Structures are given as structure tokens and as C-alpha cells.
Amino acid sequence: MTKAVVLGAAGGIGQPLSLLLKTNPLVKELSLYDIVHAPGVAVDLSHIATPAKVEGFLPPNDGLKKALTGADIVVIPAGVPRKPGMTRDDLFKINAGIVRDLATGIATVAPKAFVLVISNPVNSTVPIVVEVFKKHGVFDPRRIFGVTTLDVVRASTFVSEILGDLSLTPSVSVPVVGGHSGVTIVPLLSQSTHSLPAGFAQSSLEALTNRIQFGGDEVVKAKDGAGSATLSMAYAGAEFAGKVLRALKGEKGIVAPSFINLAADKTGGAALQKELGKDLEYFSAPVELGPEGVVKINGLGKLSDYEKGLIAAALPELETNIDTGVSFISPAKL
Ligand SMILES: NC(=O)c1ccc[n+]([C@@H]2O[C@H](COP(=O)([O-])OP(=O)(O)OC[C@H]3O[C@@H](n4cnc5c(N)ncnc54)[C@H](O)[C@@H]3O)[C@@H](O)[C@H]2O)c1
Ligand SMILES: O=C(O)C[C@H](O)C(=O)O
């Protein structure tokens, strides 16, 4: 009986993500929690003819506790989205407290659940969840994930557009590593399953890289004050959750990039830190998933000189973002 929980389920991401989870045959129970509207969203979804039993909860009467009881996987899209002119870091003031409180609930009620963090800024909110779990003595680095799948989805789409054939998109795979904001998003286009056209200019490569790094801004601008990516994020979140669920069921060899604590695989994490030349505690890298979460952190593979430069440019901002998250919960550590 696999139980999935969405925290922030009535929001722009939460609703379509809950819809997609309701259609996933591996989900047998789906609990929706939000500070508003979750019971209504749950009743609506409950009429869909798929196996998952859906329930919705609000904060009163121990709603969070009831939603989380027995959870196997918890996805968190709770929090405020960007408006034009804002960076993801501008969301920290509000979202840090939201994520801390929800993480406290998970650490108390469902400490063994897989936690998938969507709320921005991911580079800081994941360390917040980890520090909360450490404080409760229930931290398992293999089970806490920052969802960076939207960057991978964008990279596949944009490369397919350049190749002039969107039908290729499902098979185009580009590793995207680092973190989830601006220059910390590092697409490794030299490792794309589908090569860019012969003679693709360096200036075009830089423009494509920039588009992947700032794809979120493209949506924020187009929505013109009405928020950020919701539908593409719901798709990406359901993709990643689907992989975690398949791994949980015992399927082997599933690999997906995710922003994780590098203690999840001590050997792979140390090797990655060596490659980076920096003892970062967190990084988004391709990880192999298993029934207990992260099995193996893969290295970066062969990088072009341009990609080496992108990684070097990402490291200082990543380090600052991580410190911001850690010190929000554990100021004495820094
Ligand atoms: N990781 C990514 O790639 C990615 C992509 C897109 C958006 N995001 C982030 O996801 C978050 C949500 O975006 P959105 O567009 O769905 O926003 P939204 O405002 O539409 O929805 C957020 C939901 O969270 C709920 N919420 C607020 N505080 C809560 C709490 N304490 N407990 C439970 N629910 C609470 C709100 O009521 C709302 O329903 C934002 O922080 C956004 O930046 C991340
Ligand atoms: O850009 C944002 O603020 C939302 C999200 O992180 C995205 O990449 O679309």
C-alpha cells in the first residue's frame, strides 16, 4: 500500500501534481494537505477512476499529522512563487519557515518517508529539511531530495526544438547538475544522448545553456505577475516521484539527477567532491535510486572546458545558498 502525500496540494503546482499522482497506478493512497482548499481538491480528484484513495486535510484537528501518517513519499510544493524581478532567493524569507514547519511534521510523523522538495529556493530549502531531520535524530541522507527535474525536462525540450523534431523529446536526455537557480543550473550538453547539429556555434551553445539556466525566468516573465512554472513543474515532479516510486517497488537501475546531501553515498559523494575540488555538502548529481533511496551518486563524466567553467561559476553561489539554509536551522554550525 504505497501512500503519497502532497503538502501545498491546492496550489498552482500542487493541484496538477496531485492529479498526476492520482493517475499513477503505484499510488494506492493519496493525502493532500494545504492551509486552504485541500479537502475540495481531494473530493474532485476522488471521482477519477484510478485506484488511489484520496483524502484532503487542513491545519485544524491535526490535519498535517493525519495527512502524513503512514506516508511513503511526501512531495512539498508549498510556498510562494516568484513574481517578475524576483530571484528564487527572495522567496527564502517566507518559504524557509513554511518548509521548516512541514519538515518538522514529517520528521515527527513519517521520518522514514522519502521527501521530495520542490519549494524554492531548493538550494537552501533542502538543507533546511536535512537540518530539521538531524535535530529530530531521524536524518537519512538517502531519502531527502531536491527536485531539479524541471531543468532536465527543459533541457530535453530545448535540444529537441533545436534538432527541429519535438517528437524526439522523450528520448533526449541531458544531464543537468549543480543546483536549481540561475548559474547553479549546469546542463552538460556535451553528454546529451542526441548531439547538437554539426557546426553548432559556441555562441549558440552559450545561448542554449543560458535558456536552460534561466528557463524559470522565461515563465515568470510570460505569466506577468501570476506566478511561475506550475504545469511543467507538476509534470516534472510527477516524473521524479514516479521514478522514486518505481525504485521503492524494487525496480533496478533507475537514475535521475537530484539535489542531495552527498553523505547519501559516502564513496560517490567523496569522489564527486574531489571532482568539484570543493567539499560541498550538497550537489545535484545523477543518482541511482533503490528501495531505500539513493544507492549511488554518479560522477560528472567527461566535461568540456566550457562546462568546467560553468561548474566553477556555480560553486560560490551554491555554497552561499547551502549555508543560508543550514544556518536558518542550525546557526551555531557555521
Ligand atoms: N523546484 C522547482 O523546479 C520549482 C518549479 C516551480 C516552482 N517551484 C516552487 O514551488 C513553490 C510553489 O509554487 P506554486 O506556483 O505552486 O505556488 P502557489 O502559490 O500556487 O501554491 C502554493 C501553495 O502552498 C500553500 N501553502 C502555503 N503555506 C503552506 C503551509 N504552511 N502548509 C501547506 N501549504 C501551504 C498555499 O496555500 C498554496 O496553495 C514555490 O516556492 C515555487 O518557487 C519550484
Ligand atoms: O523560476 C521559478 O521561480 C520557478 C522554478 O524554480 C522554475 O525553474 O521554473
Per-chain mean pLDDT for the chain: 97
For residue 332, the model assigns a pLDDT of 77
For residue 333, the model assigns a pLDDT of 65
User: Residues comprising the binding site for NAD(+)?
Assistant: 8-14, 34, 95, 118-120, 233
Q: State whether the beta carbon of 116 lies less than 6 angstroms from ligand 1.
A: no
Residue 280 pLDDT grade (very low, low, confident, very high; cuts 50, 70, 90): very high
pLDDT tens per residue, range 240-270: 999 999 999 999 999 999 999 999 999 999 9
Whether residue 143 has pLDDT greater than 80: yes
Cα end-to-end distance, the chain, whole Å? 41
For residue 334, the model assigns a pLDDT of 59
Whether residue 296 has pLDDT greater than 90: yes
Nearest CA to ligand 2 atom 6: 216
Closest CA to 147 of 188, 119, 124, 127: 119
Task: Walk me through the domains of the chain, giving residue ranges and CATH numbers.
Answer: 3-147 (3.40.50.720), 149-328 (3.90.110.10)
- The mean pLDDT of 75-92, rounded to a whole number, is 96
Whether residue 1 has pLDDT greater than 90: no
Q: State whether the beta carbon of 120 lies less than 6 angstroms from ligand 1.
A: yes
Determine if the pTM surpasses 0.90. yes
Distance CA 311, CA 319 (A): 12
For residue 8, the model assigns a pLDDT of 98
For residue 231, the model assigns a pLDDT of 98
Amino acid code (one letter) for 252: K
Partners of 23 in beta bridges: none
Helix axes 149-163, 215-223, angle to 10 degrees: 90
pLDDT tens per residue, range 186-216: 999 999 999 999 999 999 999 999 999 999 9
SS3 assignment, position 19: helix
Which numbered atom of ligand 1 lies nearest the CA of 33?
33
Whether residue 3 has pLDDT greater than 90: yes
**Is 37 an annotated catalytic residue?**
no
